């Protein structure tokens, strides 16, 4: 065998169906938007973080202004490799991961209550080291979000082919069972059990934003799958009532509601970050102060590289820069829904809708928090906020959407 033949690609006619799919073209508009937002996010995260890192003399940071960006770039590279690998996999194979991943997610939510941390600092035990006692930190709720979506998409994509349960009509129990089957209640039982378990564990942290995101992701998949609208009305009132009870029965969350209504009630305490965020946005004006010239990141906004990176974007690039970021996010979300609409089968459509709805709500909630439109939920801005494992998971989710895009069926009018 000569040297040239070692690098010779197999002709198309000799490829297996799996190999053909892995070579099918990706949706380039979606990929370009992901890369553009990622690059933009890395630049702005560096601008928002270097002052914090420079003045941080702790053993890990050691006054290194490039500390955060160096780690984030490393995770971005790992995430991009992961996104590429996932995009090469036939998305139908993701069905096999639905039950194992859900089991892992539930296990991690239990472990974070035992080995996690954050309760002493922010009042919520959400974080855990990757290998429990060492390694980069992450929130197990990130795994739970995609696990629930994948589980729901896998089961609901087959609902037309599942046989309905039949009970004896001779007994009252049997007739009642047939009634529950006709109205669709029994079909929802497995999903309800999963949601109760996941939401209960998130409540124990507590992690209200995680609960909201899991609910929204699951609801979007259920809605697109064709579940009756009546059950959605019941679920909305039920979930809304439960969430309201949790909020007003938990001092930690009640305090956040009070601060949202009037952050100036505690200007040097819990309301300080929101006030500084609003000052940063207001001082940016139409065109901003200029890249790298933010004043609020100079130790005024606590940890601006995390959830409050968007105010730094607006302060430096102005309202115009903030609108450009939101426009890019909107285009990415709309393109994701376009892929879902043209997916080859129902599973690909449900999976993509769940991922993109989760992504869209996360963007909305983060920007809503930093502008004080909604109470502080502790949600990061995808691709912009510092957080390596979260970034890797987000890019892996984008890889799933790209995998679906390899098998889209465009229509003549598109």
Report yes or no on 393 lying in a domain.
yes
What domain range includes position 340? 25-405
pLDDT at residue 237 greater than cutoff 90:
no
Reported as a single tens digit per residue, the pLDDT across 294-350 is 999 999 998 899 999 999 999 999 999 999 999 999 999 999 999 999 999 999 999
Q: What is the pLDDT of residue 9?
A: 58
Q: d(Cα 27, Cα 283) in Å, to the nearest integer?
A: 39
Q: Say if CB 18 and CB 265 are below 8 A apart.
A: no
Q: What is the pLDDT of residue 161?
A: 63
Report yes or no on 10 lying in a domain.
no
Lookup: tokens for 275: 């006030």
Q: Say if CB 346 and CB 157 are below 8 A apart.
A: yes
State the total domains in the chain.
Answer: 1
**What DSSP character marks residue 374?**
S
Report yes or no on 204 lying in a domain.
yes
Report yes or no on 337 lying in a domain.
yes
Higher pLDDT, 62 or 134: 62
Q: Tell me which of 68-72, 146-150, 211-215, 225-229 is least confident.
A: 225-229
Reported as a single tens digit per residue, the pLDDT across 362-414 is 999 999 999 999 888 778 999 999 988 899 999 999 999 999 999 986 554 44
Reported as a single tens digit per residue, the pLDDT across 153-174 is 999 998 766 666 666 666 766 6
- The total number of residues shown for the chain amounts to 414
Task: Give the pLDDT band of residue 119 (cuts 50, 70, 90).
Answer: low
Q: d(Cα 355, Cα 378) in Å, to the nearest integer?
A: 19
Q: Measured at the alpha carbon of residue 218, what is the angle toward residues 29 and 84, in degrees to the nearest 5?
A: 35
Q: d(Cα 11, Cα 175) in Å, to the nearest integer?
A: 61
Indicate if the alpha-carbon torsion angle 110, 193, 93, 202 is positive or negative.
Answer: negative
Lookup: tokens for 298: 């100079």
Would you tell me how many other CB atoms lie within 10 Å of the CB of residue 411? 8
Q: What is the pLDDT of residue 3?
A: 44
Report yes or no on 5 lying in a domain.
no
Reported as a single tens digit per residue, the pLDDT across 244-261 is 777 777 676 777 788 888
Report yes or no on 190 lying in a domain.
yes
Q: What is the pLDDT of residue 1?
A: 43
Report yes or no on 174 lying in a domain.
yes
Q: d(Cα 205, Cα 113) in Å, to the nearest integer?
A: 7
Looking at residues 230-246, what average pLDDT do you find?
Answer: 73
Q: d(Cα 358, Cα 299) in Å, to the nearest integer?
A: 32
Q: Say if CB 252 and CB 123 are below 8 A apart.
A: yes
Out of 239-243, 264-268, 307-311, the most confident range is 307-311
Q: What is the pLDDT of residue 167?
A: 60
Helix axes 388-405, 346-370, angle to 10 degrees: 140
Q: What is the pLDDT of residue 129?
A: 84
Report yes or no on 155 lying in a domain.
yes
pLDDT at residue 69 greater than cutoff 60:
yes
Provide the percentage of residues in the chain whose pLDDT is more than 90.
59
């Amino acid at each position: 065998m000569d040297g040239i033949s070692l690098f010779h690609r197999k002709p198309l006619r000799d490829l297996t169906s799996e190999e053909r799919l892995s070579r099918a073209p990706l949706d380039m508009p979606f990929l370009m938007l992901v890369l553009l937002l990622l690059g933009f996010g890395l630049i702005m995260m560096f601008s928002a973080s270097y002052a914090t890192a420079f003045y941080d003399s702790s053993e890990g940071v050691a006054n290194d202004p490039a500390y955060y960006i160096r780690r984030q770039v490393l995770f971005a590279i790992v995430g991009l490799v992961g996104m590429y690998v996932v995009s090469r996999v036939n998305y139908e194979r993701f069905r096999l991961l639905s039950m194992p991943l859900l089991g892992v997610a539930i296990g991690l939510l239990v472990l974070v209550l035992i080995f996690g941390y954050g309760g002493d600092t922010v009042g919520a035990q959400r974080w855990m080291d990757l290998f429990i006692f060492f390694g980069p930190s992450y929130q197990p709720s990130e795994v739970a979000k995609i696990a629930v979506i994948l589980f729901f998409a896998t089961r609901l994509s087959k609902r037309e082919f599942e046989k309905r349960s039949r009970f004896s009509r001779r007994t009252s129990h049997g007739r009642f069972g047939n009634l529950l089957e006709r109205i669709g209640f029994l079909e929802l039982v497995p999903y309800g059990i999963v949601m109760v378990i996941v939401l209960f564990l998130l409540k124990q942290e507590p992690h209200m934003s995680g609960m909201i995101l899991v609910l929204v992701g699951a609801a979007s998949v259920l809605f697109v799958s064709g579940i009756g609208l009546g059950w959605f009305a019941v679920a909305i009132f039920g979930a809304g009532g439960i969430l309201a009870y949790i909020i007003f029965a938990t001092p930690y969350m009640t305090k956040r509601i009070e601060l949202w209504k009037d952050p100036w009630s505690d200007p040097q305490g819990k309301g300080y970050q929101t006030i500084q965020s609003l000052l940063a946005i207001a001082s940016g004006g139409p065109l901003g102060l200029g890249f790298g010239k933010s004043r609020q990141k100079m130790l005024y906004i606590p940890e601006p590289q995390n959830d409050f990176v968007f105010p730094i974007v607006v302060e430096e690039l102005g309202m115009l820069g903030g609108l450009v970021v939101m426009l890019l996010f909107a285009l990415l979300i709309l393109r994701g829904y376009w892929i879902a609409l043209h997916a080859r089968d129902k599973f690909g459509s449900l999976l993509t809708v769940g991922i993109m709805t989760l992504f869209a709500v996360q963007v909305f909630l983060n920007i809503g928090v930093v502008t004080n439109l909604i109470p502080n939920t502790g949600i990061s801005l995808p691709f912009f906020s510092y957080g390596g494992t979260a970034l890797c998971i987000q890019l892996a989710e984008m890889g799933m959407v790209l995998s679906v895009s390899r098998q889209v069926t465009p229509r003549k009018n598109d």
